Amino acid sequence: MFDLFKKSSQSQIGLDISPEGITMVVLHEKKNKITLKNYIYKPFQNKVYQDEQPENFEVLTEELKSIINEYKPETRNTIISMPSSNVFMKKITLPDIPEEELKIIAPQEASKHLPLSEKEMNVDFQILKNSRKQDESGRKIDVILCALSKSVARSYLEAISNTGLHVQAIDISSFAMIKALANAELINDPEKTYISVLIDYTNTDINVIQNGMPVFSHNIEQGKKNIIDSITNSLNKKKDQILELLPELALMIPGADLSENPELNKASNAARNVYSGISGEIQKTIEFFNSDRQQPVDIEKIILGGSGVCVQNIDKYIYNKLRIDTCIFNPFINLSESMQEDSPLDMTLFSTSIGLALKEVEN
């Protein structure tokens, strides 16, 4: 079984790779205190991805080597991520038996659902410990099955290992963000239900969280790429020009004044169309989650992270659409005193990589 949820206790690198570039975080634990040693973002200078899938792993290796040579991280132990769109996930119910026995049963059960044969997939599972229940056949528990193509995993592991980094485990991007949310103490009330929204480059992951665990997940093919494309088509500008423009954009909300720059207003309207679609999917996720419940669950807060949180007022915009308290995630909370306060939007780039590193040093 490939360990998607490996846990240990050591300083750690969290490494997130996307079509945009590489995000790396180094965390260190000393005397039970976890601190941030370094955080790095390096956009790709050469083409690594084709049709949003990695193709040029040699370039990826060279880009990583340049980061390692420049920053010289104190550890080589690394956790990497995979977007949920690359991973098969399914929540299933199994007998409530000791975890060692579940490790035998879960892969056998997974084989009934996998899109490829069990021999072609790495399979792991996570127990949803708050899901224990009793029915006529005995005590049951829910688990999340996760399976990743061995060929995909092999390509990433080879490219990263060639840099001297030691990959300890692979995690799912949206689950890593949830780990970072827990460290920031944003989802820790066991009596409340939260929504995490990871807006990545090509996809958005929406997770309903209870007791610090994802209990329902929804993935859509909308992300930062769609925002850039929409603005590009609206303004007829090149991608580089749009990227420079993004920090100046603000979504229009009630009570706000229009910009004196007509181009910014036009770009804002184009971006709003994408965020409107994401807001609608959040609403659908909540409705579906509550559809089989006698008493609908109230959502305490929606928390936004990822590179797609790239324009101003997105939290206020979603609040006005859904009337649910919404905030932009600062993943550096409880890791760096200098970054405790409200952060610039680009800090959300590290929502995943910080969560990856935390999975090692926190357990």
Q: Where are the domains of the chain?
A: 12-186+337-361, 187-328
Q: Indicate if the pLDDT at residue 9 is higher than 60.
A: no
Locate the DSSP E strands across 203-291. Answer: 204-210, 213-220
* pLDDT tens digits along 229-288: 999 999 988 988 999 999 899 998 888 888 888 899 999 999 999 999 999 999 999 999
Rounded CA separation 25/148 (Å) = 24
Q: What is the CATH number of domain 12-186+337-361?
A: 3.30.420.380
Rounded percentage of the chain residues whose pLDDT exceeds 90:
56
Q: Which residues contact 220 (CB under 8 A, 6 or more apart)?
A: 203, 204, 206, 277, 278, 281
Q: Indicate if the pLDDT at residue 170 is higher than 50.
A: yes
Q: Which residues contact 359 (CB under 8 A, 6 or more apart)?
A: 5, 6, 7, 12, 14, 79, 169, 171, 176, 179
Average pLDDT over residues 282-301: 94
**How confident is residue 32, by pLDDT bands cut at 50, 70 and 90?**
confident
**How confident is residue 306, by pLDDT bands cut at 50, 70 and 90?**
very high
Q: Which amino acid is at 153?
A: A
* 12-186+337-361 and 187-328 have identical folds: yes
Enter the pTM of the model: 0.88
Contact call for residues 155 and 162 (beta carbons, < 8 A): no
Q: Which fold has domain 187-328?
A: Nucleotidyltransferase; domain 5 (3.30.420)
**Confidence at residue 271, expressed as pLDDT on a 0 to 100 scale:** 95
